[in-house]
Structure 1
Amino acid sequence: FTSNNDLFTSKYKLEIQGLYIALGLILGKSA
């Protein structure tokens, strides 16, 4: 169960990181 949980948390962190990158690109273009 621990390995499955680690995969879930790592995927969640990657998705959050992707959202921040997308927001940064959008804000950079509008600035």
Structure 2
Amino acid sequence: MRCKGTNWSFLLLIVLLLRSFGTRLSVLFDVQVS
């Protein structure tokens, strides 16, 4: 159970990081295009 909990929190953290990174990339692309 403990391993599952840590895995879930780790996956959630990775998803949040990917989302923030994706928004940054989209903003950079928008700036470059415009």
For normalisation by structure 2, the TM-score amounts to 0.67
Alignment RMSD (CA, Å): 0.5
The count of aligned residue pairs is 25
Q: Which stretches in structure 1 are left out of the alignment for 5+ residues?
A: 26-31
For normalisation by structure 1, the TM-score amounts to 0.71
Deviation >6 Å, runs of 4+: none
Q: Which stretches in structure 2 are left out of the alignment for 5+ residues?
A: 1-9
Quick one: percent identity of the two aligned structures? 12
